[in-house]
Amino acid sequence: MLAIVQSSAVVGIDAYPVAVEVHATKGLFRYKVVGLPDAAVKESEDRVQSAVKNSGFKMHFGKTVVNLAPADMRKQGSALDLPIALGLLAATEQLIPDKIADYLIAGELALDGSVRPVTGALAMAIAARKDGKKGIIIPVENAEEAGVVTDIEILPVKSLHDAHAFLSGDIEISSFVTNLDNAYAESSRRIMDFADVKGQSHVKRALTVAAAGAHNLLMVGPPGTGKTMLASRLPGILPELTFEEALETTRIYSVAPGIQMRNKLILHRPFRSPHHTATTVSITGGGANQPMPGEVSLAHNGVLFLDELPEFNRSALEVLRQPLEEGEVHLRRASYAITLPSRFMLIVAMNPCPCGCRTHPQKRCKCSVGEIQRYMARISGPLLDRIDIHVDVPPLRFEELHSTAKEGPDSAEVRKIVQKARDVQRARNGSYNIWNAYMDTRQLRQHCQLESSALSFLEAAVLRMGLSARAHDKVLRVARTIADLDGDERVVERHLAEAIQYRSLDEEIFF
């Protein structure tokens, strides 16, 4: 007898439908899976047969052929175990297949018949709704993640026996709906406060500007001046994720292996800080057969922090150019071609020289000019050009370290200022995610019109500093953000002056 069960497989962060066709006939024992299965899918034979037997069902000792359609796309992972087992039960007349067609089914089977969680449950639930399914049958552990999808039944099961009983009409399973209020309450975390950082008021101001306009930022200073501490507090001043952003971010983490936040709705902006030994593939994502999101995608809607920037592999840094410009990364390999979202704020930190003392007021730099040049040459000019704000982070004085006075506004206060500026941008640009840093040429021309005196001021600065066309546009975007923070409709000279100041390290540090 032939039985067909609808399931799904994930490529990138999107799921596509897979029809699991199970044909069971009499004859010599044979179990074969066709349709480009990977090793994990082929090994389903042992898991399925043990799960069927240990769940109290009859084993089929004849010929079994499992076809995974479409046959020209590779199927990976263990999520097809449960639909294969249910298809086998239907093909051997141990399950009436009437209700199977209404549901998309996914889950990994243990040998005792229990169902284990799978990756990509959120993407599968979205795909099931798109395909017009009544619901999706998934492992209990994936219910919280998939339960944010509306207009479809999310049916969590603990075992093969539960899934069989539901499809047979013996039991009812209540549709799971994620309680977003509880999810926000449970996901509350301690926000590292801006007020904990001593001094560095000008760097805090630069971070506020960066947060308000979603600008990229570079911090340069000797070791121990607070660069990492400041960067780690940036998520605390960014606006909370909107539901659309949370859903999009969760889809990425749902398919990422080894991520502790998987199976939960991501409600806080990600903060990713890869080690400087990270490879190009770990930064961009990809893989030989199964595409996995890299750091640029895991930081989507959040912050990607690269500490000790010159220590990163040059090729790993150069691949940042495309996601910085386009907000997405295109991965093309022999077996697949996908596009992953990767719109993030890039925050980078570095020392001014190999020993780190070049700009220190007390310590003497021991590096030669050649060593400094080689150190700086590890970072390409085109990459630096894509970083909107450059700021110097000097060492603190003793009095600042031991000051008991309040160190400026705390993160909650700064976040209100940032949110107000972003509300202005949303109203102006007509979109929830087109911030000043992402304005195109047309929007830049429309929203950054300068009076003659401001235009002359900008011209003089561009000529003196030798700014590129891209750097010129970056200055205008940053100036627009500063004007939004000040509540001004027009960009004037004082806004331009502060924005140009954030490019002064081009001359001072990078020769």
For 182-191, what is each residue's pLDDT tens digit?
Answer: 666 555 555 6
Residue 208 has pLDDT above 80, yes or no: yes
Q: How far apart are CA 444 and CA 452, in angstroms?
A: 17
Asked whether residue 508 carries a pLDDT value surpassing 70, the answer given is no
Whole-number percent of the chain with pLDDT over 70: 93
What pLDDT, in 10s, does the model give residues 416-449? 999 999 999 999 887 666 899 999 889 998 999 9
- What confidence score (pLDDT) does residue 254 get? 87
pLDDT at 174 > cutoff 80: yes
Helix and strand counts by DSSP (H, E) for the chain: 23, 18
Mean pLDDT rounded to a whole number for the chain: 88
Task: For 446-503, give the DSSP string.
Answer: HH----HHHHHHHHHHHHHHT--HHHHHHHHHHHHHHHHHHT-SS--HHHHHHHHHTT
What's the pLDDT band for 38 if we cut at 50, 70, 90? confident
pLDDT computed for residue 107 by the predictor: 95
* Peptide bond before residue 352 is cis, with ω within 30 degrees of 0: no
What is the rounded CA–CA span in Å between residue 428 and residue 415? Answer: 20
Contact present, 346 and 384 (Cβ < 8 Å)? no
Please report where in the chains the tokens 């590096």 appear, as a residue. Answer: 367
Distance set, CA 319 to CA 31, 78, 371, 474 (Å): 45, 32, 25, 20
For the chain, domains (ranges, CATH) are 2-168 (3.30.230.10), 194-428 (3.40.50.300)
The more confidently predicted of residues 72 and 69 is: 69
Q: What is the pLDDT, as a whole number, of residue 184?
A: 61
503: confidence class by pLDDT, cuts 50, 70, 90: confident
Mean pLDDT of 125-138: 94
* Between residues 383 and 333, the one the model is more confident about: 383
Q: Report the C-alpha gap between 73 and 68 in whole angstroms.
A: 9
Task: Answer yes or no: is pLDDT of 263 > 70.
Answer: no
Q: Tell me what pLDDT residue 268 has.
A: 87
pLDDT tens-digit profile of 189-200?
Answer: 556 778 788 888
Q: What is the pLDDT of residues 464-475, one digit of tens each?
A: 888 889 889 999
Q: With cut-offs at 50, 70 and 90, classify the pLDDT of residue 180.
A: confident
Residues 294-340 have pLDDT tens digits of: 999 999 999 999 999 999 999 999 999 989 988 999 888 776 788 89
- Quick one: average pLDDT of 9-24? 91
Of 179-188, 238-247, 318-327, 345-354, the poorest mean pLDDT is in: 179-188
Average pLDDT rounded to a whole number, residues 133-140: 95
Burial class (CB in 10 A: 0-12, 13-18, 19+), 192: middle
On the question of pLDDT at 511 being above 60, the answer is no
Q: What pLDDT was estimated at residue 262?
A: 52
Kindly tell me if the per-residue pLDDT of 61 is higher than 80.
yes
Given a cut of 90, whether residue 404 has pLDDT beyond it is no
pLDDT of residue 192: 77
- What is the pLDDT at residue 432? 61
- Its pTM stands at 0.86
